[in-house]
Amino acid sequence: MASSELSQLQNLPMERNTVSSKTASFLLDGFLFVGGGLVAFLVVWTLWSFFSPTPANFSSSLLYRSETSAGSRLSSCAGTVPGPDMRHDPPDQNFYDDPELNYTINTPPIKNWDEKRKEWLKQHPSFASGAENRIIMVTGSQATPCENPIGDYLLLKLFKNKVDYSRRHGIDVFYNNVLFEPKMFSFWAKTPTVKAVMLAHPEVEWVWWVDSDAVLTDMDFELPLDRYKAHNFVINGWPNLIYQKKSWTSINAGVFLIRNCQWSMDFMDVWASMGPQSPDYDKWGEIQRSIFKDKNFPESDDQSGLVYLLLEQKEKWGDKIYIENEYYFQGYWAEIVGGFDNITDKYMEIEKKVAGLRRRHAEKMSESYGRVWEEYLKEAGNGWGGWRRPFITHFTGCEPCTGDHNKIYSGKTCYDAMQRALTFADNQLLRNYGFVHPDLLDPSKVNPVPFDYPA
């Protein structure tokens, strides 16, 4: 984008209005509270009316108006917490009371899950509102210490990155450290975990599996859930590689979104049936190798299993599976990390020109600024070849915990790249806390961010 266009954008009336109306309402709030004595009086009055069974009937209309405005704030301080009610589980029976329902993957299939979930939401109306877009992020690692001496250090930082992203976007996180089906090791551990999470979280619509070695490198980006309205499963992949090349790496099973519904229960049962707990495990290994010529190991794996279902049972599952490649739903680190410095420069160039983007704000307001950013990222591309921050940088092949990385690169290459990605993400986050890392390769150093930086 040319800089002249940018300065035009900077002067958009919309942006100035947003800022000035915010300022105006801030001043108005201040005005309501100027009289300290009045405030103290109102506090006492509100507290008193809390304990009084029949609130006093004030006749002064001026006082009454002030009280409703200030009182609504104060009452939320005093205990009526709005939002989901986590303290009352009605005694009415629901699927949790069914002794036949098991959380494990190799038990009788879950039936009528849509109805069961709906019934639970009906019993818990405070969770029903907003349920259609609610997400839980699911990730995890092995139960035992990492073999790689810096493995647990890296896992902690990788987890911190996911928690940071999720806190910014109001998403819950479940970190799993155990195999819910002991035979389903490593990459097979996803399906038993996701099934249990769906049962444990009827309040969420989407389960978002994110491998432990994936880094969220755009802290602002919001999953475009509207795009997936008609789908139940979202994965990064390339249709020509799936359907023409028949490659087992045509998709990446390390990051996916799956809707909390009956379709997904059925899908996961079929997917899991190719796993090591199944008597047909060896047979599936042979079938996968016969179809995917580029697969160079004999065991059945979850990713090949997914491509198999797309390829061989397309009519049954295909139309509910969204192959996402319009942004970095997940991207291969080796093609991403070299671009971080240029991306940082581009974003800073924009911030220098747009005062509204430089404004300090509460972390909880991040999404509102992220949406303003979108206006200035229209020319940034979608990741491939562009300068938009990649959403997820996936360290496929680096194996931070075991250290058993792909031999085409050194361990140091992997860990340095991971460090850079984590620091790149941390920099976006630390801005809200007033700090910035000056060097992507030195995660221990931070500088305070001056006011109005980087004007």
Cβ nearer to ligand NAG, comparing 35 with 338 = 338
Q: Going by C-beta distance under 8 Å and a sequence separation of 6 or more, which residues neighbour residue 138?
A: 173, 174, 176, 193, 194, 197, 207, 208, 209, 210
Q: How far is CA 447 from CA 218, 427, 439, 443, in A?
A: 21, 11, 10, 11
**CB 237 to ligand NAG: min, Å:** 25
**CB 389 to ligand NAG: min, Å:** 14
Tell me which stretch binds ligand NAG (CB under 6 A): 9-17, 30-38, 334-342, 441-449.
334-342
- When asked if residue 109 is in the footprint of ligand NAG (CB under 6 A), the reply is no
Contact indicator for 148, 401 with CB cutoff of 8 Å: yes
**CB 334 to ligand NAG: min, Å:** 12
- When asked if residue 342 is in the footprint of ligand NAG (CB under 6 A), the reply is yes
- Report the residue from 13, 83, 108, 149 that binds ligand NAG according to the rule CB under 6 A: 108
Tell me which stretch binds ligand NAG (CB under 6 A): 175-183, 226-234, 338-346, 429-437.
338-346
Cβ nearer to ligand NAG, comparing 90 with 338 = 338
**CB 337 to ligand NAG: min, Å:** 9
- When asked if residue 331 is in the footprint of ligand NAG (CB under 6 A), the reply is no
Contact indicator for 357, 369 with CB cutoff of 8 Å: yes
Please list the helix, strand and coil fractions of the chain in percent, rounded to the nearest 5, in that order. 50, 10, 40
**CB 118 to ligand NAG: min, Å:** 22
Cα 220–chain centre separation: 10
- Applying the rule CB under 6 A, the residues between 137 and 196 that interact with ligand NAG are none
- When asked if residue 338 is in the footprint of ligand NAG (CB under 6 A), the reply is yes
Dihedral sign from CA coordinates of 432, 435, 437, 443: negative
Residue found by looking up tokens 């789908």 in the block: 231
**CB 423 to ligand NAG: min, Å:** 17
Cβ nearer to ligand NAG, comparing 339 with 356 = 339
- When asked if residue 202 is in the footprint of ligand NAG (CB under 6 A), the reply is no
Cβ nearer to ligand NAG, comparing 100 with 315 = 100
Cβ nearer to ligand NAG, comparing 5 with 404 = 5
- When asked if residue 339 is in the footprint of ligand NAG (CB under 6 A), the reply is yes
- When asked if residue 100 is in the footprint of ligand NAG (CB under 6 A), the reply is yes
Tell me which stretch binds ligand NAG (CB under 6 A): 256-264, 266-274, 300-308, 337-345.
337-345
| β-bridge pairing 172-176 and 135-140 | parallel
- Give the max Cα distance, the chain: 85
Contact indicator for 438, 432 with CB cutoff of 8 Å: no
Q: How far apart are CA 191 and CA 303, in angstroms?
A: 12
Query: How many residues make contact with ligand NAG (CB under 6 A)?
Result: 7
Closest alpha carbon to 200 in 291, 300, 119, 95: 95
- When asked if residue 385 is in the footprint of ligand NAG (CB under 6 A), the reply is no
- When asked if residue 107 is in the footprint of ligand NAG (CB under 6 A), the reply is yes
Dihedral sign from CA coordinates of 448, 453, 454, 455: negative
Q: Where is 123: in which H helix or E strand?
A: helix 113-123
Q: How far apart are CA 309 and CA 292, in angstroms?
A: 13
Q: Using CB under 6 A as the criterion, which residues of the chain lie in contact with ligand NAG when the complex forms? A: 100, 102, 107-108, 338-339, 342
